[in-house]
Amino acid sequence: MLVNGIELNKISDELWEIPRHKEMRVPGRIYISRDMIESGLQNDEAINQVVNVAHLPGIQKYSLAMPDIHWGYGFPIGGVAATDLNEGVVSPGGVGYDINCGVRLAATSLEFKPLEKRIPKLVENMFKNVPTGVGASGAIKKVSPQEMKRILRQGSHWAIGNGFGSDADADFTEESGMLKNADPEGVFERAIERGLDQVGTLGSGNHFMEVDVVEEIFEETVARVFGLFKGQLVVLIHTGSRGLGYQVCDDYLKVLLKAESKYGFRLPDRQLACAPVRSDEGQRYLGAMQAAANFAWNNRQVIMHLAKKSLMETFNMQESELGFHLIYDVCHNIAKIEEHDIDGKKKKVCVHRKGATRAFAPGSSNIPLKYKDTGQPVIIPGDMGRYSYVMAGTQKAMMETFGSSCHGAGRMQSRHQALKHAKGRDLVAELNKKGISIQAHGHKTIAEEMPEAYKDVADVVNVMHNAGITLKVAKLRPVGVIKG
């Protein structure tokens, strides 16, 4: 099959390969169905980006893309690439501007039905307690530059140490909510300034907080271990490192653009700006990126505490009655040093996940002991009008995708196209009719994120499930939405 002039060969119903050609160092592989290729990929530049990423020095096995693939900066969103630590590179385009944008799923012990009529009030309180929108600030007291550097080192642990949660929250956060090689000194002054009053803020764009109900359980045993039951009230939080992370990416793109000529790289796209992993530039970027990732984990930790406060206020409950606890927090814009099987041998590589989620298998030493027999929870949000999914990582993911899965539904329409299609519609009324209460800063935000702007997340999730990369565990239905 030819897609945008690129040969795409079918390996299975869920996996297609771009053969190595010209200066590609490895083949490209896309997890996707034929229907999704024909309906969305034919006119998307993202497939060219899969080819471009395959040119990176030191790339291992494949340039990968998940079924939520769409055009991004340098890498496609949904892109995964692992590079050799000695001969390979690190690329900010393989992480993205919103460093450690991620999803946190917290559960309650409450059933939705008896509380259904109070959900609009809950959404109103959450919108009041968690600042949203462009430049959102003021969730907690503005921190000093010195305190910000402590946040950049400590991640979630700063929030927990300051009364925003418990030690158990760190246990159920990827990397325990703190990358230990973070270097706050590598974060430039402008990035620090942008983050000072943004701790505990949701931000804008596709960021959101949702109140969901567990609508369907696919794997009872795994769901029980995760702490999920049918009819349960849960909270999803999707946000990242805010202006600080954006600035870190922007600052280091300038640094790494200069590195391209210094190290003699010849790449098909300047947006793939990179530096050798072991180089001074590469190490400086990794240290600053890890600091921004820690900021994001801390941000989601504070937001979760504010969500719990909103639940307690709305339902007039004590914490013990609420049963509020973190199931897991995953990131989907990051590069990490991990050990994987490369051609039958264990090898440390730099894994870029850009709009892709880690999906480690049962038995992994990098996931909480509680999930050793089930695999890591993989949280896949959909759009605000349909549903989201909880999945589990598998051994096949470790063998084929460097332990990676999709991260969401994936856009089908640009924000401009979505605004055009939303013209004349009352989207709030449409969502209310579906039993979904919503709070946002104006019609524009809701229109840009309208359900039709996204692929149906069920299609995306089914590709991953049928390919054996992740296992479907539960489906969540939104009943309350707070948009950034």
Residue type, 413: Q
Please state the φ and ψ torsions of residue 61, each to the nearest 5 degrees: 65, -70
The kind and range of the H/E element at 194 are helix 189-195
Q: Give the angle subtended at the CA of 308 by the CAs of 192 and 107, to the nearest 5°.
A: 110
Q: What is the DSSP letter of 39?
A: I
What distance in Å separates the CA atoms of residue 188 and residue 251, rounded to the nearest whole number? 8
Lookup result for tokens 């209310």: 432
Lookup result for tokens 């291992």: 60
Output the CA–CA distances (angstroms, integers) from residue 307 to 104, 106, 163, 287, in the order listed: 12, 9, 14, 31
What distance in Å separates the CA atoms of residue 227 and residue 239, rounded to the nearest whole number? 23
Residue 350: name the closest of 406, 294, 292, 275 by CA.
275
CB 393 within 8 A of CB 378: yes
Length of the chain: 484
**Given the residues 407, 416, 441, 465, the one annotated as active site:** 407
Please state the φ and ψ torsions of residue 250, each to the nearest 5 degrees: -60, -45
What contacts 202, CB < 8 A, 6 or more positions away? 130, 131, 132, 133, 136, 208, 209, 237, 239, 303, 482, 484
Q: Which structure tokens are listed for 449?
A: 């994120």
What distance in Å separates the CA atoms of residue 330 and residue 377, rounded to the nearest whole number? 8
Output the CA–CA distances (angstroms, integers) from residue 371 to 201, 219, 362, 376, in the order listed: 30, 14, 7, 6
What distance in Å separates the CA atoms of residue 122 and residue 144, rounded to the nearest whole number? 32
Q: Is 465 a catalytic residue?
A: no
Output the CA–CA distances (angstroms, integers) from residue 350 to 54, 59, 94, 129, 393, in the order listed: 15, 9, 11, 38, 20
Give the count of beta carbons closer than 10 Å to the beta carbon of residue 227: 19
Give the residue numbers marked as catalytic.
407
